[in-house]
Amino acid sequence: MAIDISNWIPIEWAPEVLSRVNQDSAIEAFGSPHVMTTDTQRVLRSLDATVGTGATYTSDASTNDYILLDAVKFTGQFIVDSDALRDADSVVDTLRKKAGDWATSYAVAFDNACIGVTAAANGTTAPFTSIYKAVRTNGQTGESYTADDNYVNHGGAASAAYTDLDSVMRKVETGFYYSPSRALVIAHPTFKGVMRSAKDTTGQPIFIQGVAGTPDTLFGVPIQWSLGAKTANQRSTAPEGNPLLVVVGDTDALMRGDRLNDSGGNGPEALVDRARAQDSTDQDALKLRVRKAFGLSHPKAVAVLEKTA
């Protein structure tokens, strides 16, 4: 029996889609979630905190400001022959297949937008201020951050691999925004080769491949591999710039906004439009969308290593 779907429906019946997104997107898997009921949301942050001792209380003199999360829509559209959607089961099967294909591309595009886009945020081709852009730009008033303070250029020489990896890690480890239990490394798979050749002063490898479901680690910090961790002048599903490695001192610094959608959830949703009598062909349309935001709490909470050769 033919089915008519006229409203956006959440893709909750396809857990493999959401699993694929979390496997392929570091920001989706580890970003600090903020549910958004509107397109923009202010997230309060403190740039420091005063701790007093003794009987007299010391008033906190730190600056309280906020990060503005601005949700951007990520979309997909497919045209399907009507004969492939004759009944409800075929609609679900088609949605599952197309949603799975789209999820993989979305995971790369979202990570690239959050991590590697080199242009200033414009809400479209550069949806957010990326980690790369934030680290390579002077900080806002009160952040006391100078462009490139937390940036390391790796020229590709094997002899420099240990020094460069150690340097980018130290930039975060010695800072105010480091939490050993919530630290993370996000890296393009290109860095696997770089890490394998790097050993410490005792000859021990600094890169340990995980076994039995445990993550790979660099200097003991878990690694999340991401194909989106490359530079790009605009958001891309297949960025072709330089590979990036990002050390995150505390994953709470990766603020991911999850905009509530029409179906009441905050994940991907789908809409099917069946062929109409006035159409010249028997084709159905499938749309997929999700609305997300991203903001970095402070540039000093991360450090970036760029492989330039």
Average pLDDT over residues 196-212: 89
More confident call, 175 vs 308: 308
User: What are the distances in angstroms from CA 123 to CA 21, 111, 130, 213, 293?
Assistant: 22, 15, 12, 37, 10
* Cα(13)–Cα(11) distance, integer angstroms: 6
11 has a pLDDT exceeding 70: no
* Cα(250)–Cα(248) distance, integer angstroms: 6
pLDDT tens column, 38-49:
999 999 876 656
- The model's confidence at residue 1, banded by pLDDT at 50, 70 and 90, is very low
Structural domains for the chain? 9-46+66-307 (3.90.1690)
- The model's confidence at residue 2, banded by pLDDT at 50, 70 and 90, is very low
